[in-house]
Amino acid sequence: MDGLFLFLFRLLSHQCIVLGGFIILAWSLLFVAKIVFHPLRDIPGPLWARFSRVWYLRTVNKGHFEKRNIALHRAHGANTAFSIILKPVFAAYAYFISVGPIVRIAPGQYSLDDAGAVRIIYSPSSSFIKAPWYSASSNPNPESHDLFTDRDSRRHSANRRKVASLYSMTRLVQMESCVTECTALLMERLTRFCVSGEPFNLQRWMQYYAFDVIGLITVNKRFGFLDNATDQNSLIASLHYYLVYAANVGIYAEWHPIIARIMAFLPASGIKHLQSFTAQQISEGKKNFLKTQKPQSSSESFLQTLIRLNTQNPDKFSLADIFTTCITNIGAGSDTTSISLTAILYNLLKHPNVYQKLHEEIKQADNQGKLSSPAISFRESQSLPYFQACVKEGLRLHPATGLPLSRVVPKGGATLCGRFFPQGEIVGVNAWVIHRNKSIYGMDADFYRPERWIESPERSSEMERNFLARGRQFGAGARTCIGKNISLMEIGKLIPELIRRFDFELVDEGVPLDTQNVWFVKQTNIQCRVRLRGKGKNPSNDRGC
């Protein structure tokens, strides 16, 4: 009997091994066939990107994907000498040579570098929805939807309409005093650096500033970054942790619900900490609102307006809407703005001739009485053409977002860059790539030159159409970040004021810029010193503080 059982066991084991081997073989053949006969099989890219998302994950995890993305497009451009030589010589290799500005970064996922693709994918009427990557930035609760990660276009539009008026420039100008207050406090802190001669990290202080501004605008109080010169409540650290998670887990977004549930049992960090902090701010704000019952004002904080909307019509504007709006501001209101402010200032410091030219424009406008004192208004900053060119050029060379703005090809497919993409494929344009497209921005697109924006109205219009660094840079077209006007107001008020009052210098001009790309490309090593104008090595007749 034992021998019979042993015989049957061996027979079944042998059959299972054969069956397993057959399944593996069949899957392998189907996998290879899918690659060989795929209509986009000739699109080039890293070898392993054909077979797995691991290449994309590893490259993103290293923190410099924007640089690799640019290099891929330049290595696999349709008109490179490499392609022209190899196509007629090696027919087999030519099978995998690109016929357009497209590179593969994962199976079924492509990075594009083309002006026409920008207009098709990101137009306000586009039917390209956000790719699954964005899901990892969201609350895994299927009932929770925010404006950044919601992939349902109709629901997104409906929720956006609820709060759009709060983010209009007309409304935000009424809250300009929030930016003015934080600008004055930053000036005080920089004046202390003038006296001490101590170097400081430029991006860190720009983030302190941006965080306190968004605190005043959202919940009517500074969070204390500028006052204490430290990361308050570990908010910056939590934001960074959240961004690292979102950038990496988003590549395997289907795992996000499972990973999020596991992380829920861990100590509060990342998005969990930000949610807890936001809930606390809302709770305190509601108590103050009910206690004071102030009449409605155009300059009241977001939270005060949101509570008022909920009180008047809780069915139309729910408590969840209050929370979503506040955490969107708090979570997205500092990193992108601080990166943008730092990019503008850093490029000015690296190009003294541009810095001096901008200072002359501000000085002239000041002498003509076109700029207010002690604080330049946002509206006044819009009348400084060279300043606006410096802003655009700084953001062109260093947009805050460093991964492709990925979208799903809609039903019926789409033709992009002269190629037909079947429905379901994922395509996207990286701002770092398109902003260095020489057919759009000129043969000197790799170099900083603000004049390109004011040389020709026709050329400027073409560059604007492909300029993805808009405000807080959370998207383009219908998905442009709703909070972009907050960022634009901070940039417009702060940068001219800094140039008017201070002289900045890099501690070591020879040190290359170091960055870390975790969806946002944050500068990490810009050390500066600052002097009051008219003080120090290069005295002038400029006005001081």
Q: Cβ(468)–Cβ(118) under 8 Å?
A: yes
Q: Is 481 annotated among the ligand-binding residues?
A: yes
Kind of pairing, strands 414-416 and 520-523?
unpaired
Residue whose pair of structure tokens reads 């207050």 in the numeric block: 181
Element (H, E) at 289: helix 270-292
Say whether the peptide bond before residue 374 is cis (omega within 30 degrees of 0).
yes
Contact (Cβ atoms closer than 8 angstroms) between residue 64 and residue 118: no
Lookup result for tokens 């996207």: 428
Round to whole Å and give the CA distance between 109 and 104.
Answer: 6
N- to C-terminal Cα distance for the chain?
A: 100
- Please answer whether residues 9 and 17 qualify as being in contact, where contact means their C-beta atoms are separated by less than 8 angstroms: no
Strands lying side by side in the sheet with 502-506: 200-201, 527-532, 502-506
CB atoms within 10 A of CB 256: 20
Q: Which of 468, 472, 474, 466 has the alpha carbon at shortest distance from 484?
A: 472
Query: What is the distance between the alpha carbons of residues 157 and 126, in angstroms, rounded to a whole number?
Result: 13
CA gap 292, 311 in Å, rounded: 15
Phi, psi of 73 (to 5 degrees): -65, -40
Q: Which two tokens stand for residue 422?
A: 């079947």
Tokens of 497: 């004021």
Q: Which of 21, 10, 113 is nearest to 418 (CA)?
A: 113
CB 278 within 8 A of CB 287: no
**DSSP assignment of 517-535:** EESEEEE---EEEEEETT-
Residue 201: φ, ψ to 5°: -80, 115
Report the alpha-carbon distance of residue 545 to residue 542 in Å, rounded: 10
Coil vs helix vs strand at 429? strand
Q: CA geometry: angle at 16 spanning 15 and 18, to 5°?
A: 65
Binding residues for heme: 481
Binding residues: 481
